[in-house]
Amino acid sequence: MKCIKTSLFAFTALLTISCTSQKENASLKDAYKDDFYIGTALSADQIEQKDQKEDSLIRKEFNAITAENIMKSMYTHPQKDKYDFALSDKFVEYGEKNKMFIHGHTLIWHSQLAPWMEKIADSTEMKAFMKDHITTIVSKYKGRIDSWDVVNEALNEDGTLRQSVFLKTLGEKYLVDAFKLAAKADPKAELYYNDYNIEEPAKRAGAIALIKKIKAEGGKVDGVGIQGHWRLQSPSLEEIEKSILEYSALGVKVAFTELDITVLPNPWDLKGADVNQNFEGSAKMNPYPKALPDSIQNKLAERYASIFKLFLKHKDKISRVTFWGVHDGQSWLNGWPIKGRTNYPLPFDKQLQHKPAYESILQLKESKQ
Ligand code: XIL
């Protein structure tokens, strides 16, 4: 809401109080309720509601959740004949209790696999694994998990298919098979292909070809998840916009599934989010160990504002925008691609306070009311 300025002192004071309290009640999910879901990624502790303050923040600000780690195959399917759903059950219950949109991350991904899966070397065994894995997990949460990242990160930067254990054993047919198995297990769940850097032209072309192929072969793809592990200067708004338009022209929804914006230098200009890449640390690579200078804080706020302005322009094509973590203290970017750094990529700081980035995202909506 707009706060009207008045010269009357008492009235001004009253208005200030009412503006402040209105602002305190404001939240990302309410501000964007008519546009798209505003999601966050939950750690195991957050799913278990270990910290009451974090928990109220999550429930106040977000209406969609993704598990940051606990639904990856190394946790849900640690041995061939053993599944562990203790935490994913809690995750789903938490989402249901709070009427949140629940996203499943992820079914088929080459990273964070259980060690036994990495040893699968022949096609018969891999086929059996995929069928059992996808069917068991998706059926278990049928009607309760709203959407799934069926396949995560199947592409190389040049748009060709990644030589993953799945491609090596099954060839590219594994892609359509994964989507068919997921659709069979829960026909109503929305099925996504999710990846990083797929707003970049070459990789985007690869993702478009991949989605077209899966659909042509009878797979159901409802959406594309652009992870959105971005930087202050890149990717450009033009490439993001082109991506929204080109993906939605395929008849799929566009989600931004893991949004965060690093403010730290990138080793060798690394782009992307390959969790297997790691680099040596140095003071030069960790310039803000104590606090973020205002100049960078403002740049981050401006960057978030311009990104959300673009998202709002295309809200009819966007289903969900999920931040990769609740607050800076939790962000994986403190440990990747260099361990032990202090990064500031999210709208909340590690004390759970709003950052200027938060205000700038909210402001885009307030100025319209
Ligand atoms: C990251 C988690 O945030 C970290 O805690 C974990 O150590 C590695 O994985 N792309 C994805 C996410 O799809 O699952 C990754 O999450 C980040 C990159």
pLDDT tens, residue order, the chain (369 aa): 333 333 333 333 333 333 443 467 899 999 999 999 999 999 999 999 999 999 999 999 999 999 999 999 999 999 999 999 999 999 999 999 999 999 999 999 999 999 999 999 999 999 999 999 999 999 999 999 999 999 999 999 999 999 999 999 999 999 999 999 999 999 999 999 999 999 999 999 999 999 999 999 999 999 999 999 999 999 999 999 999 999 999 999 999 999 999 999 987 665 666 777 666 667 788 999 999 999 999 999 999 999 999 999 999 999 999 999 999 999 999 999 999 999 999 999 999 999 999 999 999 998 654
292-309 b/e (C-beta count within 10 Å ≥ 16 → b): beeebbebbbebbbebbe
pTM of model > 0.85:
yes
**Catalytic: 190?**
no
Domain containing 138: what range?
28-366
In one-letter notation, the amino acid at residue 247 is: Y
Q: Give me the pLDDT at residue 9, please.
A: 35
CA pair distance 309, 312, nearest whole angstrom: 5
Inside any domain, residue 20: no
Check pocket membership of 71 for ligand 1, CB cut-off 6 A.
no
Inside any domain, residue 13: no
Nearest CA to ligand 1 atom 7: 332
Nearest to 305 by CA among 359, 243, 246: 359
What sign does the CA torsion over 301, 305, 308, 310 have? Answer: negative
Q: Give me the pLDDT at residue 20, please.
A: 43
Q: Give me the pLDDT at residue 17, please.
A: 36
CA of 69 to the centre of ligand 1 (A): 7
Total domains present in the chain: 1
Q: Give me the pLDDT at residue 14, please.
A: 35
Q: Give me the pLDDT at residue 213, please.
A: 98
Retrieve residue 267's tokens.
């080793």
Inside any domain, residue 197: yes
Inside any domain, residue 135: yes
- C-alpha angle with apex 341: 74 to 304, nearest 5 degrees? 90
**Catalytic: 258?**
yes
Inside any domain, residue 235: yes
CA pair distance 328, 351, nearest whole angstrom: 9
Listed in sequence order, the residues at least 6 apart from 240 whose beta carbon sits closer than 8 Å to its beta carbon are: 199, 226, 307, 310
Inside any domain, residue 338: yes
Inside any domain, residue 10: no
Inside any domain, residue 22: no
pLDDT digit string (tens) for 257-282?
A: 999 999 999 876 656 667 776 666 67
- Determine contact, residues 347/357, Cβ cutoff 8 Å: yes
CA of 258 to the centre of ligand 1 (A): 9
If one residue of 70, 195, 332, 333 were mutated to test the ligand 1 pocket, choosing by the most ligand atoms within 8 A of its CB, it would be 332
pLDDT digit string (tens) for 107-154?
A: 999 999 999 999 999 999 999 999 999 999 999 999 999 999 999 999
Check pocket membership of 330 for ligand 1, CB cut-off 6 A.
no
Q: Give me the pLDDT at residue 284, please.
A: 82
CATH number (domain holding residue 262): 3.20.20.80
